[in-house]
Amino acid sequence: MDRIWSELAARRTATKDRHLRALFAADPRRFDRFSARLDDLLLDYSKTAVTPEIFALLLDLAAAAGIEAKRDAMFAGAAINTTENRAVLHTALRNLSDRPVTVDGTDVMPEVRATLDRLFAFAEGVRDGRIAAADGGRFTDVVNIGIGGSDLGPVMATLALAPYHDGPRLHYVSNVDGAHIADTIARLDPARTLVIVASKTFTTIETMTNAATARKWLAGALGEAAVGAHFAAVSTALDKVAAFGIKPERVFGFWDWVGGRYSVWSAIGLPVMIAVGAENFRAFLAGAHAVDEHFRTAPLGENLPVIMGLIGLWHRDVCGYPTRAILPYDQHLLRLPAYLQQLDMESNGKRVRKDGTPVARPTGPVVWGEPGTNGQHAFYQLIHQGTDVVPCEFLIAAEGHEADLAHHQRLLIANCLAQSEALMKGRTLEETRAQLAAKGVAPAQIEARAPHMTFPGNRPSLTIAYRKLDPFALGRIIALFEHRVFVEAAIWDINAFDQWGVELGKELATALMPVIEGKADGAGHDSSTAGLAAYLTS
């Protein structure tokens, strides 16, 4: 592999000054050559600096990393999460085929299907009033209490599927900051509210604290006897849920082979099922399953997640770009950047390989973003003219949901394409001077202004395009990014499925609580921590 990395570095050095404009001018078929499709899902990677030679080397990298064998091991239920000795099988949750999926010799599919049936029955019951509040009336509002993977996926999907939302109103509480739950319940009637406590481990302090506060709120308003009718829970730790006192028929399990940030397809998706109904949720699963099948079977050079992963590695490791921006031109994907931050950065923010030795090159980039066109009026200045190159990943639908507002969609599309075109082409000093002259600007003014109005261009982007953001399309998009993370991790040889980096902060917060509660002094802590604790508790 080192040889391939060196060859890629050499290609980069040799082609660094060749502008993307020149690549497009030299090859009228560049878009055809460097775009790929899965049915109507389109990935355009022609506005990156790849050439046929570079793409071939990237594919060599994937082959040398044994990507196909690693992929097959994941789908087959091998314990590829080595530090936790667990299989990684979020793909089983959306396996709509008849294929069995075995973990330690047992087919998990019957249990997956049975749990999904129970979830759908519960969700539909809440939607049609068969599952009712303590007073027999309907639930009008559902509060999901969870954080990280037990929050971001459902939040993202609920917003994304807003046009399909015909169930009770959904609210999400994640932050341990009391403001989050206080602001949420202030608007709610406890008698009409169902609370879902979602936590894979059922130990996360934020979630447990918010759940206890919600319980107190319900018990205070409705009486202790009513509380059971207003709670449901989702967890892999069924013993801990039982200890919290939630009725067994309202508890939905999942399995340790589902990572938190990969869990929206499991019982963690319950609030989404309640919002949009079983049929739409099944379409969401089907979209992901379609990408799973594509990832499993398509040749590497036509395989969308593989291509996205390889372009990601090209940008991160060969070009040295430290971040990537997620720019959905789709208001319903408002929380996609936050969702992908966890998916990507918690998975691939790693500094040692699977064998514990330090990685040889940079791993996961900083992932950030905002929907367009809002981002254009905020941070795109830096993307166009700043000193760092930010690879951009645009998402855009051909159609919006607002049939009578088609002109909005046309403007959205024009803006999205204009941004990637501007990033690619830029505007030379000569072009800028000519444009200013054509506007009648005085020569001295032209010389003063032109450098500021020149754009270097040659800035790379990917565009993911789809017909319309329906549940199937959303499932496909999310699975595409999941497998892209897998591909990058497989080539870096890191474990994308643990998250030990989150632990230290949790341990230290626990250790600081006695100081913050005034039960211990700050001795033993550094002077900054002790000084801040003293200020904040005085």
Ligand X SMILES: O=P(O)(O)OC[C@H]1O[C@H](O)[C@H](O)[C@@H](O)[C@@H]1O
Q: How far is the CB of 234 from ligand X (least distance, A)?
A: 9
- Distance, in Å, from the CA atom of 139 to the CA atom of 123, rounded to the nearest integer, reads 11
Q: How far is the CB of 244 from ligand X (least distance, A)?
A: 13
Angle between helical axes of 52-64 and 2-15 (0-180°, round to 10): 160
Q: 464, 393 in Cβ contact below 8 A?
A: yes
Instruction: Kindly state whether residue 150 participates in binding ligand X, applying the rule CB under 6 A.
Output: yes
By C-beta, is 51 or 81 nearer to ligand X?
81
Q: How far is the CB of 254 from ligand X (least distance, A)?
A: 10
Q: Cβ–Cβ contacts within 10 Å for residue 428, how many?
A: 16
Q: 294, 38 in Cβ contact below 8 A?
A: yes
Considering only residues 235 to 254 of the shown chain, the ones binding ligand X according to CB under 6 A are none
By C-beta, is 260 or 391 nearer to ligand X?
260
Instruction: Kindly state whether residue 51 participates in binding ligand X, applying the rule CB under 6 A.
Output: no
Question: Pick from 148, 153, 337, 365: which binds ligand X (CB under 6 A)?
Answer: 148
Contact string 206-225 vs ligand X (x = CB under 6 A) = -x------------------
Instruction: Kindly state whether residue 199 participates in binding ligand X, applying the rule CB under 6 A.
Output: yes
Q: Of the ranges 197-205, 215-223, 407-415, 476-484, which one interacts with ligand X (CB under 6 A)?
A: 197-205
Residue 394 in 3-state DSSP? strand
Question: Pick from 95, 204, 280, 432: which binds ligand X (CB under 6 A)?
Answer: 204
Q: How far is the CB of 200 from ligand X (least distance, A)?
A: 4
Angle between helical axes of 67-75 and 278-297 (0-180°, round to 10): 150
Instruction: Kindly state whether residue 460 participates in binding ligand X, applying the rule CB under 6 A.
Output: no
Considering only residues 260 to 279 of the shown chain, the ones binding ligand X according to CB under 6 A are 260-261
Q: 463, 394 in Cβ contact below 8 A?
A: yes
Q: 413, 396 in Cβ contact below 8 A?
A: yes
Position of tokens 């199937």? 472
Residue 193 in 3-state DSSP? strand
Considering only residues 486 to 525 of the shown chain, the ones binding ligand X according to CB under 6 A are 499, 502
Q: 444, 137 in Cβ contact below 8 A?
A: no
Position 276, amino acid: V
Instruction: Kindly state whether residue 309 participates in binding ligand X, applying the rule CB under 6 A.
Output: no
Q: Cβ–Cβ contacts within 10 Å for residue 111, how many?
A: 14
Position of tokens 């506007």? 439
Q: Which two tokens stand for residue 461?
A: 């982007």
Query: Any idea how long the chain is?
Result: 538
Q: For ligand X, how many residues bind (rule: CB under 6 A)?
A: 14
Q: Of the ranges 186-194, 199-207, 215-223, 325-333, which one interacts with ligand X (CB under 6 A)?
A: 199-207
- Distance, in Å, from the CA atom of 120 to the CA atom of 114, rounded to the nearest integer, reads 10
- Distance, in Å, from the CA atom of 337 to the CA atom of 334, rounded to the nearest integer, reads 7
The answer to whether residue 377 is catalytic is yes
Judge if the upstream peptide bond of residue 140 is cis by omega within 30 degrees of 0.
no
Considering only residues 325 to 384 of the shown chain, the ones binding ligand X according to CB under 6 A are 346
Q: Of the ranges 12-20, 174-182, 196-204, 311-319, which one interacts with ligand X (CB under 6 A)?
A: 196-204
Q: How far is the CB of 256 from ligand X (least distance, A)?
A: 11
Considering only residues 82 to 141 of the shown chain, the ones binding ligand X according to CB under 6 A are none
Query: Of the listed 171, 289, 346, 482, which one is catalytic?
Result: 346
Q: Of the ranges 20-28, 144-152, 331-339, 360-368, which one interacts with ligand X (CB under 6 A)?
A: 144-152
Q: What is the contact surface with ligand X in residues (CB under 6 A)?
A: 147-150, 199-201, 204, 207, 260-261, 346, 499, 502
Positions annotated as catalytic residues are 346, 377, 506
